Chains A and B, each alone.
Chain A
Amino acid sequence: MTTTQTGLGTYLERILKRHGRDSGRLVQILRDVQAEFGRVSAEAMAILAERLSLPIGDVESTRDFYSFLTSEPTGTYRILFSDNITDRMLGNQAIFDHMARRLGVSRGVVSADGLASLDYTSCTGMCDQGPAILVNGMAITSMTLRRADQICELVRSRVPVAEWPNEFFRVDHNIRRADMLLGTDFTPGSALRAAVAMGREAYLAEVKRSNIRGRGGAGFTTGVKWEAARNARGDARYVVCNADEGEPGTFKDRVLMQFYPERVFEGMALAAYVVGAKLGLVYLRGEYLYLKAPLEEKLSELRAARLLGDSILGVDGFDFDIEIHMGAGAYICGEETALIESLEGKPGRPRIRPPFPVSFGYRGQPTVVNNVETLCKATEIALHGGAWYEGFGTKQSTGTKILSVSGDVERPGIYEYPFGVRISQVLDDAGAKNPKAVQISGAAGQCLTTREFGRRIAFEDVPTAGAFMVFADHRDMFEVARNFAHFFQHESCGFCTPCRVGTRIQAGIMDKIAAGHGTQYEMNELQHLREVMRTASHCGLGQTAGGAIADTIAKFREDYEKRLARKDFEPAFDLDAALARAREITGRDDADSRMLSDA
């Protein structure tokens, strides 16, 4: 970009105006700056800081926290490959290498002409139709070498992404099993009408009666959360929809946001009705940028139908509207207090809890944060009542649960079951081929083996936020765990010592084992590290970051042991490799310039 300082100021002014010069919208502002200029430069930061009356360090702090915001220019075409283990199993690395060759770029380096940059990114939530990539933030699914060639051609001909073939951007719902939520037609407004007919108290009583628990993973009782937010003291109340679906292997919220948005928005309005919120915020992960425009259109329709806005359904004082906030590439923002920090324009570092968001949330006010799926389920309770709802699932886990099934199955996609379904049933329905393991609830979840396939999906047995990644018997579970270890290192927010440093040490040890330098010593180190991270970390990320490794060591030890050196210890430091630079400088490569291996 050759924009001069004043030109830059004019452009930034336009962006600032769009966001009402609200420093609380800093993440949104920086996203727009990044989209416009391909980076957030030091000059841009200085201007933004001045005009938003923020210390420049605070702007820098936010910019540097999010993966999609950069200080240096990215390529005009910024291509990011989703790097979940499921993408790897579908061959993303070969396609990446192919594309890098064709475009003449290396990983993380912008091509000399500034045209393209290529890198990996954390799971983009397209595990059932991978390998997936993002081009300038837009999702492209089902990558093949052929498609990679087509994209290289489009890049070289400088065709704007908006003019690329539509089929590249096709995202299927892949709904394979629909139950009470996915299989039932919904008339917008019907749930709200039912709730309003009952009245606030009666509807809340139904929600509590249903015993519905949060679908984001923690399983907190929704009715209790709503009641607490309603009862908390505050000047304003907020309803936040957590659509920051970042857990590797999860993609059901993407399907709900794309194909069932009326349910989601109406669920938010129901929560608002109960707690008395005027504003709802959807925190949509940055990877789902392609959903933003259609969702905003949907919001306009709902406003036109008087299902959002002032005096909804003619109820005096029932004023509620919804804004969509975009994430910018940070898994940790799925944690509700980190999400709120991000909504406030700050880096997504989890807060100290208590206080919980129900009493001290968005802008310090009582805030309900619910998962996308939970909000959808709230509409069912309005329509059919708590007793009816309670009739599905198990006693402690009522209703149905949507699973995102991916990996080694014939039919990857979305499966809705009443809670209590056995793992084996899901495997059969999805057409799993010789499964040896299932990773439940993502990288942060647990790894189950064939012996455990009789267990049930339920809060009281195998709890899950929805991810269900299947690994056939030829898969190497060490590589699965190593992929997760790098994911956690990349996504640790850096706030607390055990997670910030521990995830990096952990990934380093996994790499050492992968390189064939690991011994029994490293196996013990991993387990010790896991205990420190689990017991001392500030939030769930660090507490669970060693779980997949501990599980796979316990259950698939052979996948580790086949790599271990038969020694008590091998140093990580390789003296011969360290001499490589000296050899290069001196132009030597004779025997005396090498460390002889003692083998």
Chain B
Amino acid sequence: MNEYDKFSLDGRPIYFERGQSILEAALAAGVYIPNLCHHPEFKPHGSCKLCTVKVNGRFGSACTIKAMPGQEVASDTPELNGNRRVLLQMLFVEGNHFCPGCEKSGNCKLQALAYDIEMLTPHYRHFYPVREIDATHPDVLLDFNRCIMCELCVRASRDVDGKSVFALAGRGTASHVVVNSPSGKLGDTDFALTDKAASVCPVGAILSKRVGFAVPIGERQYDVDPISAQASARQAEEA
């Protein structure tokens, strides 16, 4: 890392390594930029758009734009957070998200971001889509009602597990994750609870069976600290 490799994020200097995206560099420096489809172990995807920032006055995804010396990046502004609130509202009305009954509550990135960005209502008219639950697998439950189309499971299963168990099919709001088996059921695949794809879902669409509220609500990951505080906490731990 050299002295000149830094950009400015909301006025703070962020040092980065060549090749890092703005998002990677910011997170590494302990500065949080909201994100959902990003995962440090996977190539940037750029679909959720929560990480939309302004780089030298132009809008773009922090996860796909490479950090460059001298960039002026704005992220934590009323305008950008306002847009993020709208994006979260869109995700909430597009699916069927009933947090109180969801085992992922408190560990869910979508919910955590909604709290953090102060999304008080879903605002838009709910789509109430009819989506299926797939309980055919002995160890894993799929509840597509909560899917936000981030494709992390698709990427993990293809790129890490080498199984390509999932794919994104359809178009527009008819987009949906499908399971790669002639029956379309997870039970007919070689998916395993130990797969990377079983643990990457940011929401409660892929859940381990026979685990119910082992950690009580109120003591879960994002119940303790807001999601935005975790990047700086992680960085403090590592330092």
Q: Could you list which residues of chain A lie within 8 angstroms of chain B, going by C-beta atoms?
A: 42, 46, 55-58, 60-61, 63-66, 330, 347, 352, 489-498, 500-505, 508, 528-529, 531-532, 535-538, 572-573
**Cα of A56 to Cα of B178 in the assembled complex, Å:** 9
Question: Are B127 and A537 closer than 8 Å at their CB atoms?
Answer: no
| B154 (CB) vs chain A CBs: closest residue | A57
Give the residue of B64, B83, B148, B179 whose beta carbon is less than 8 angstroms from that of A535. B83
Q: Could you list which residues of chain B lie within 8 angstroms of chain A, going by C-beta atoms?
A: 44, 46-50, 52, 59, 61, 64, 83, 86-87, 90-91, 93-94, 124-125, 127, 148-149, 164-175, 178-182
Q: Secondary structure at chain A's binding surface: helix, strand, loop or mixed?
A: helix
Question: Are A496 and B182 closer than 8 Å at their CB atoms?
Answer: no
Q: Which among A490, A497, A573 has the greatest number of chain B C-beta atoms within 10 A?
A: A497
**Cα of A117 to Cα of B174 in the assembled complex, Å:** 21
Question: Are A352 and B64 closer than 8 Å at their CB atoms?
Answer: yes
Residues of B within 8 A of A504 (CB): 127, 172-173
User: Closest Cβ of chain A: how far from B26's Cβ, in Å?
Assistant: 18
Question: Are A494 and B171 closer than 8 Å at their CB atoms?
Answer: yes
**Cα of A501 to Cα of B148 in the assembled complex, Å:** 11
Residues of B within 8 A of A529 (CB): 86
Question: Are B170 and A64 closer than 8 Å at their CB atoms?
Answer: yes
**Cα of A401 to Cα of B50 in the assembled complex, Å:** 39
Give the residue of B44, B94, B167 whose beta carbon is less than 8 angstroms from that of A501. B94
Residues of A within 8 A of B61 (CB): 538
Residues of A within 8 A of B47 (CB): 495-497, 538
Q: Which among A61, A330, A492, A503 has the greatest number of chain B C-beta atoms within 10 A?
A: A61
**Cα of A491 to Cα of B170 in the assembled complex, Å:** 11
Residues of B within 8 A of A573 (CB): 125
Residues of A within 8 A of B179 (CB): 57
Known interface pairs A352-B44, A497-B48, A535-B83. Does A489 touch B172 (Cβ–Cβ under 8 Å)? yes
List 12 extra interface pairs beyond A61-B170, A497-B148, CB under 8 A.
A56-B182, A57-B179, A60-B167, A61-B168, A347-B168, A495-B47, A501-B91, A501-B94, A528-B86, A532-B83, A536-B83, A538-B61
Residues of B within 8 A of A63 (CB): 169
**Cα of A63 to Cα of B61 in the assembled complex, Å:** 29
Known interface pairs A494-B170, A498-B90, A529-B86. Does A61 touch B49 (Cβ–Cβ under 8 Å)? no
**Cα of A573 to Cα of B228 in the assembled complex, Å:** 36
Can you report 7 A-B residue pairs in the complex whose CB atoms are below 8 A from each other? A347-B171, A352-B46, A496-B46, A500-B172, A501-B173, A503-B172, A537-B49
Residues of A within 8 A of B64 (CB): 352
Question: Are B180 and A56 closer than 8 Å at their CB atoms?
Answer: yes
Question: Are B52 and A535 closer than 8 Å at their CB atoms?
Answer: yes
| A501 (CB) vs chain B CBs: closest residue | B90
Give the residue of B59, B125, B166, B178 whose beta carbon is less than 8 angstroms from that of A505. B125
Question: Are B87 and A536 closer than 8 Å at their CB atoms?
Answer: yes
